[in-house]
Protein backbone atom coordinates (compact mmCIF):
# COMPACT_ATOMS: atom_id res chain seq x y z
CA UNK A 1 0.00 0.00 0.00
CA UNK A 2 1.43 3.37 -0.97
CA UNK A 3 2.34 6.01 1.61
CA UNK A 4 -0.73 8.23 1.16
CA UNK A 5 -3.08 5.29 1.65
CA UNK A 6 -1.29 4.25 4.84
CA UNK A 7 -1.62 7.83 6.04
CA UNK A 8 -5.33 7.87 5.11
CA UNK A 9 -5.96 4.60 6.99
CA UNK A 10 -4.32 6.10 10.09
CA UNK A 11 -6.50 9.21 9.87
CA UNK A 12 -9.68 7.18 9.49
CA UNK A 13 -8.75 4.98 12.47
CA UNK A 14 -8.31 8.08 14.63
CA UNK A 15 -11.79 9.39 13.88
CA UNK A 16 -14.41 9.17 16.61
CA UNK A 17 -18.03 10.25 16.52
CA UNK A 18 -20.28 11.86 19.11
CA UNK A 19 -23.73 13.38 19.11
CA UNK A 20 -22.52 16.46 17.24
CA UNK A 21 -20.58 14.57 14.57
CA UNK A 22 -22.65 11.38 14.18
CA UNK A 23 -24.52 12.89 11.22
CA UNK A 24 -21.24 12.96 9.25
CA UNK A 25 -20.50 9.26 9.79
CA UNK A 26 -22.16 8.04 6.60
CA UNK A 27 -20.32 10.63 4.48
CA UNK A 28 -17.02 9.73 6.12
CA UNK A 29 -17.57 6.02 5.46
CA UNK A 30 -18.33 6.77 1.82
CA UNK A 31 -15.14 8.86 1.58
CA UNK A 32 -13.20 5.97 3.11
CA UNK A 33 -14.64 3.61 0.53
CA UNK A 34 -13.48 5.87 -2.32
CA UNK A 35 -10.08 6.97 -0.96
CA UNK A 36 -8.95 3.48 0.09
CA UNK A 37 -10.41 1.91 -3.06
CA UNK A 38 -12.33 -0.63 -0.99
CA UNK A 39 -14.64 -3.09 -2.73
CA UNK A 40 -17.75 -4.32 -0.85
CA UNK A 41 -18.15 -8.11 -0.97
CA UNK A 42 -20.21 -10.75 0.79
CA UNK A 43 -17.13 -11.96 2.69
CA UNK A 44 -16.27 -10.90 6.21
CA UNK A 45 -13.57 -8.31 6.56
CA UNK A 46 -12.12 -5.95 9.13
CA UNK A 47 -13.52 -2.80 7.53
CA UNK A 48 -17.14 -1.68 7.59
CA UNK A 49 -18.03 0.05 4.33
CA UNK A 50 -21.14 1.21 2.55
CA UNK A 51 -22.61 -0.78 -0.29
CA UNK A 52 -24.28 1.19 -3.08
CA UNK A 53 -27.34 -0.73 -4.22
CA UNK A 54 -29.43 -0.01 -7.29
CA UNK A 55 -32.74 -1.35 -8.54
CA UNK A 56 -31.39 -2.93 -11.73
CA UNK A 57 -34.84 -3.51 -13.19
CA UNK A 58 -35.61 0.21 -12.87
CA UNK A 59 -32.16 1.18 -14.17
CA UNK A 60 -32.45 -1.16 -17.17
CA UNK A 61 -35.92 0.17 -17.97
CA UNK A 62 -34.76 3.78 -17.91
CA UNK A 63 -31.66 2.98 -19.95
CA UNK A 64 -33.66 1.24 -22.70
CA UNK A 65 -36.28 4.02 -22.68
CA UNK A 66 -33.54 6.63 -23.10
CA UNK A 67 -31.80 4.76 -25.94
CA UNK A 68 -35.07 4.19 -27.79
CA UNK A 69 -35.97 7.86 -27.41
CA UNK A 70 -32.57 8.94 -28.79
CA UNK A 71 -32.55 6.47 -31.67
CA UNK A 72 -36.14 6.12 -32.95
CA UNK A 73 -36.42 9.18 -35.15
CA UNK A 74 -40.01 10.21 -35.90
CA UNK A 75 -41.47 8.30 -32.96
CA UNK A 76 -42.53 9.51 -29.54
CA UNK A 77 -41.14 7.26 -26.82
CA UNK A 78 -42.93 7.51 -23.46
CA UNK A 79 -41.77 6.09 -20.14
CA UNK A 80 -44.46 4.87 -17.70
CA UNK A 81 -47.13 6.48 -19.88
CA UNK A 82 -49.94 6.80 -20.84
CA UNK A 83 -51.55 5.65 -17.62
CA UNK A 84 -55.00 4.06 -17.62
CA UNK A 85 -57.27 2.55 -15.00
CA UNK A 86 -58.03 -1.12 -15.36
CA UNK A 87 -61.12 -0.96 -13.14
CA UNK A 88 -63.76 1.71 -12.49
CA UNK A 89 -66.20 1.35 -9.61
CA UNK A 90 -69.79 1.34 -10.93
CA UNK A 91 -71.10 2.93 -7.73
CA UNK A 92 -68.81 5.93 -7.36
CA UNK A 93 -66.67 5.96 -10.53
CA UNK A 94 -63.48 5.59 -8.48
CA UNK A 95 -60.58 4.29 -10.55
CA UNK A 96 -58.21 1.55 -9.41
CA UNK A 97 -55.43 -0.73 -10.65
CA UNK A 98 -53.54 1.88 -12.64
CA UNK A 99 -51.70 0.53 -15.69
CA UNK A 100 -48.29 2.07 -16.47
CA UNK A 101 -46.52 0.46 -19.41
CA UNK A 102 -42.74 0.66 -19.10
CA UNK A 103 -42.26 1.97 -22.64
CA UNK A 104 -44.90 3.15 -25.11
CA UNK A 105 -43.95 3.99 -28.68
CA UNK A 106 -46.27 6.32 -30.56
CA UNK A 107 -46.37 7.47 -34.17
CA UNK A 108 -48.33 10.71 -34.25
CA UNK A 109 -51.44 9.81 -32.17
CA UNK A 110 -51.31 6.04 -32.64
CA UNK A 111 -49.66 3.58 -30.25
CA UNK A 112 -47.56 1.28 -32.42
CA UNK A 113 -45.83 -0.77 -29.71
CA UNK A 114 -45.60 -1.30 -25.96
CA UNK A 115 -42.42 -2.71 -24.39
CA UNK A 116 -41.81 -4.01 -20.90
CA UNK A 117 -38.15 -4.11 -19.83
CA UNK A 118 -37.11 -6.99 -17.56
CA UNK A 119 -33.72 -7.29 -15.88
CA UNK A 120 -33.87 -11.07 -15.80
CA UNK A 121 -31.82 -13.89 -17.26
CA UNK A 122 -33.60 -15.87 -19.94
CA UNK A 123 -32.90 -19.58 -20.33
CA UNK A 124 -32.40 -20.20 -24.07
CA UNK A 125 -32.53 -24.00 -23.76
CA UNK A 126 -35.87 -23.92 -21.91
CA UNK A 127 -39.06 -24.19 -23.99
CA UNK A 128 -40.62 -21.26 -22.11
CA UNK A 129 -37.28 -19.39 -21.96
CA UNK A 130 -37.78 -18.89 -18.23
CA UNK A 131 -40.33 -16.14 -18.93
CA UNK A 132 -42.64 -15.32 -16.05
CA UNK A 133 -46.25 -16.07 -16.97
CA UNK A 134 -47.54 -13.01 -15.13
CA UNK A 135 -45.39 -10.82 -17.42
CA UNK A 136 -47.19 -12.25 -20.44
CA UNK A 137 -50.57 -11.68 -18.78
CA UNK A 138 -49.54 -8.07 -18.26
CA UNK A 139 -48.61 -7.68 -21.94
CA UNK A 140 -51.90 -9.27 -22.96
CA UNK A 141 -53.76 -6.70 -20.87
CA UNK A 142 -51.78 -3.84 -22.40
CA UNK A 143 -52.40 -5.18 -25.89
CA UNK A 144 -56.16 -5.19 -25.35
CA UNK A 145 -56.61 -2.09 -23.20
CA UNK A 146 -54.39 0.12 -25.37
CA UNK A 147 -55.52 -1.45 -28.65
CA UNK A 148 -51.88 -2.16 -29.46
CA UNK A 149 -51.02 -4.86 -31.99
CA UNK A 150 -47.35 -5.16 -31.04
CA UNK A 151 -46.06 -5.78 -27.53
CA UNK A 152 -42.71 -7.06 -26.35
CA UNK A 153 -40.67 -8.11 -23.34
CA UNK A 154 -37.11 -6.78 -23.47
CA UNK A 155 -34.31 -8.64 -21.70
CA UNK A 156 -30.52 -8.31 -21.60
CA UNK A 157 -28.71 -10.82 -23.80
CA UNK A 158 -26.21 -12.79 -21.73
CA UNK A 159 -25.67 -15.98 -23.74
CA UNK A 160 -24.40 -16.30 -27.31
CA UNK A 161 -27.11 -18.83 -28.18
CA UNK A 162 -29.84 -16.52 -26.91
CA UNK A 163 -32.07 -15.56 -29.86
CA UNK A 164 -32.23 -11.79 -30.16
CA UNK A 165 -35.82 -11.55 -31.43
CA UNK A 166 -38.50 -14.22 -31.17
CA UNK A 167 -42.01 -13.61 -32.46
CA UNK A 168 -45.24 -15.13 -31.18
CA UNK A 169 -48.89 -14.11 -31.16
CA UNK A 170 -51.65 -14.32 -28.60
CA UNK A 171 -53.96 -17.20 -29.43
CA UNK A 172 -57.17 -15.21 -28.95
CA UNK A 173 -56.60 -11.69 -30.26
CA UNK A 174 -53.75 -12.64 -32.66
CA UNK A 175 -51.76 -9.57 -31.64
CA UNK A 176 -48.00 -10.00 -31.89
CA UNK A 177 -45.85 -10.53 -28.83
CA UNK A 178 -42.08 -10.44 -29.12
CA UNK A 179 -39.24 -11.52 -26.87
CA UNK A 180 -36.31 -9.16 -27.49
CA UNK A 181 -32.83 -9.78 -26.09
CA UNK A 182 -30.60 -6.71 -26.34
CA UNK A 183 -26.81 -7.30 -26.34
CA UNK A 184 -25.09 -5.27 -23.65
CA UNK A 185 -21.57 -6.66 -24.04
CA UNK A 186 -19.86 -3.48 -25.21
CA UNK A 187 -21.57 -0.33 -23.99
CA UNK A 188 -18.83 2.03 -25.20
CA UNK A 189 -20.67 5.12 -26.43
CA UNK A 190 -23.82 2.93 -26.50
CA UNK A 191 -23.14 2.25 -30.19
CA UNK A 192 -24.04 -1.43 -30.13
CA UNK A 193 -27.42 -0.77 -28.50
CA UNK A 194 -28.26 2.04 -30.91
CA UNK A 195 -27.21 -0.15 -33.85
CA UNK A 196 -29.44 -2.94 -32.56
CA UNK A 197 -32.39 -0.54 -32.27
CA UNK A 198 -31.86 0.79 -35.80
CA UNK A 199 -31.26 -2.57 -37.47
CA UNK A 200 -33.51 -4.89 -35.45
CA UNK A 201 -36.23 -2.97 -33.60
CA UNK A 202 -37.09 -0.19 -36.07
CA UNK A 203 -38.11 -2.65 -38.85
CA UNK A 204 -40.46 -4.37 -36.40
CA UNK A 205 -42.48 -1.18 -36.06
CA UNK A 206 -43.18 -1.10 -39.80
CA UNK A 207 -44.27 -4.72 -40.12
CA UNK A 208 -47.98 -5.50 -40.41
Shared domain for 72 and 110, answered yes or no, is yes
Using N-to-C axis directions, what is the helix angle for 25-35 and 3-14, rounded to 10°? 160
Shared domain for 107 and 157, answered yes or no, is yes
Number of structural domains (the chain) is 2
pLDDT value at residue 183: 86
pLDDT value at residue 3: 43
What is d(CA 81, CA 83) in angstroms, rounded to the nearest whole number?
5
Question: In terms of residue numbers, what domain contains 33?
Answer: 1-53
pLDDT value at residue 194: 87
pLDDT value at residue 4: 44
pLDDT value at residue 5: 47
Shared domain for 84 and 170, answered yes or no, is yes
Shared domain for 6 and 34, answered yes or no, is yes
Shared domain for 67 and 117, answered yes or no, is yes
Are residues 72 and 51 in contact, defined by beta-carbon separation less than 8 angstroms? no
pLDDT value at residue 167: 94
Per-residue pLDDT tens listing for the chain (208 residues): 444 444 455 566 667 778 887 887 777 777 777 776 665 554 555 555 555 677 888 999 999 999 999 999 899 999 999 999 999 999 999 999 999 999 999 998 899 999 999 999 898 888 888 899 999 999 999 999 999 999 999 999 888 888 999 999 998 888 999 999 998 865 555 568 888 999 999 998 887 6
Domain CATH number, residue 189: 3.40.1350
What is d(CA 26, CA 33) in angstroms, rounded to the nearest whole number?
11
> In angstroms, what CA-CA distances link 90 with 93, 94, 145, 168?
6, 8, 18, 36
Shared domain for 32 and 102, answered yes or no, is no
Distance of CA 9 to the CA centre of its chain: 38
Shared domain for 49 and 60, answered yes or no, is no
Shared domain for 180 and 77, answered yes or no, is yes
Shared domain for 7 and 89, answered yes or no, is no
Shared domain for 170 and 149, answered yes or no, is yes
What is d(CA 152, CA 208) in angstroms, rounded to the nearest whole number?
15
Amino acid sequence: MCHYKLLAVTHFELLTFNRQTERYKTSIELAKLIILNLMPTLSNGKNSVLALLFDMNDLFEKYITNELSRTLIGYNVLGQKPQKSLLINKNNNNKSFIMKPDITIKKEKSIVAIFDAKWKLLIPEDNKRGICQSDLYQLYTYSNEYNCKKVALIYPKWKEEQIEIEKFYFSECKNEVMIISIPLVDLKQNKNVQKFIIEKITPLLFED
